[in-house]
Structure 1
């Protein structure tokens, strides 16, 4: 079996860059296939349902239409349509942070920070539906990481670990950023976590 046949069989589809690499650099395609399989197909720390909730929220945040296959994978993993819709709703609500923080910063007399944070949290509670809070916090970290938005990342990092989240699961989820958004953005997101860890007294992404 050729590498292009293996890629197509494993994923159930072939993308244009798969075909290009198969034609001009099959060794690179083979190396990429191994990387992709480890990144997103191999079950590691995140259970399949949680993994696909994070993927769906991330791909909505990144406006990545090609990622529709993760909705199918989520359904195959046992996600209900309500859970899939809630993952998208969480991604949408993550964008509300910008408006609430803006109001708290510029109009504090009318929209104080604690009131706006409560409003943001209320939106999250409604949006997450059947998704458990810890998983919702993980998805929200990744959505804000997609924009390398430090303040809300710190907010959700603290909540995620307070709810019993693990550094291993967060590391796995952050690595997903590599595919739709690239290594440079992943570097920035991990740096935000590393900086926040000692300040928030939460686990760090790596040893100092």
Structure 2
């Protein structure tokens, strides 16, 4: 095969990949084309991870998962992801439920106020419990039951993980254990941030969860207890170079 024939074959392969995606999903984001052209191995691995993370049904019910997706995208100011709006509708999501979800998202984003109150101002308001106040108000916002309590909690967990608000994430995790949430659903909700935010925020969320498990304040399942029991989890610790004379 000549160089020109090989180039034309490659171009045809790229067109075929993108046309298949377009036919199956109704749209193609441009990064898929870039990977198909220049990074075909990455494109193949990306498709496997994409399906495992965002398409295949795992622990959360479909509507709950799409609620968590919308909360993450709104909290990250991320307009890319309108297919999750369509999926929310397809799963039966209503404007009423969306409004309730966005209230929960906004409240979670405002948790920084309660975090602030743990600092230098704490002596000025000794009777104020920031964690309790935050959780009580989150519950009050959903007093009418517009969202299932579990869905509201999962959405807030994901918002805190996505935004790196680790104090609030720990508060929500501990409360979720108290409410009897399934750990696997909690993990799935947090894992969704990998797509719009990247792996590093997910790493920090996992570190926060691990610290809570080791604190003894919650009672994890045997599998999660086994995770907490493994030593040596954490970033590589580098030795400081010796100072010169």
TM-score (norm 1): 0.88
- Is residue 43 from structure 1 mapped to residue 28 from structure 2 by the alignment? no
Alpha-carbon deviation of 1:205? 8.0
Q: Give aligned pairs, total.
A: 208
Give the RMSD, CA atoms, in angstroms: 2.2
Give unmatched runs, 5+ long, in structure 1. none
Q: Summarize the Cα distance change of 1:89–1:9 in structure 2 as closer, same or farther, 3 Å threshold.
A: farther
SS in 2 for 1:152: helix
For 1:14 and 1:160, locate their aligned partners in 2 and report how far apart those are by CA, in whole Å.
37
For 2:135 and 2:214, locate their aligned partners in 1 and report how far apart those are by CA, in whole Å.
24
SS in 1 for 2:57: coil
Alpha-carbon deviation of 1:5? 2.5
For 2:141 and 2:36, locate their aligned partners in 1 and report how far apart those are by CA, in whole Å.
42
For 2:69 and 2:127, locate their aligned partners in 1 and report how far apart those are by CA, in whole Å.
30
Give unmatched runs, 5+ long, in structure 2. 1-14, 231-245
Residue from 188, 193, 200 that aligns with 2:204 = 188
Moved more, 122-131 or 70-79: 122-131
For 1:148 and 1:22, locate their aligned partners in 2 and report how far apart those are by CA, in whole Å.
32
TM-score (norm 2): 0.76
Alignment of 1:74-153 (within 5 A): 74-108=88-122, 111-112=125-126, 114=128, 116-128=130-142, 130-153=146-169
Deviations, residues 88-141 of structure 1 (Å, cap 9, x unaligned): 221111122111332353334554463554543343234445112222111111
2:115–2:167: 8 Å Cα contact kept in structure 1? Answer: no
- Is residue 30 from structure 1 mapped to residue 47 from structure 2 by the alignment? no
For 2:226 and 2:187, locate their aligned partners in 1 and report how far apart those are by CA, in whole Å.
10
| Higher share in helix | 1
Which residue of 1 is the match for residue 194 of structure 2?
178
For 1:81 and 1:205, locate their aligned partners in 2 and report how far apart those are by CA, in whole Å.
40
- Is residue 201 from structure 1 mapped to residue 218 from structure 2 by the alignment? yes
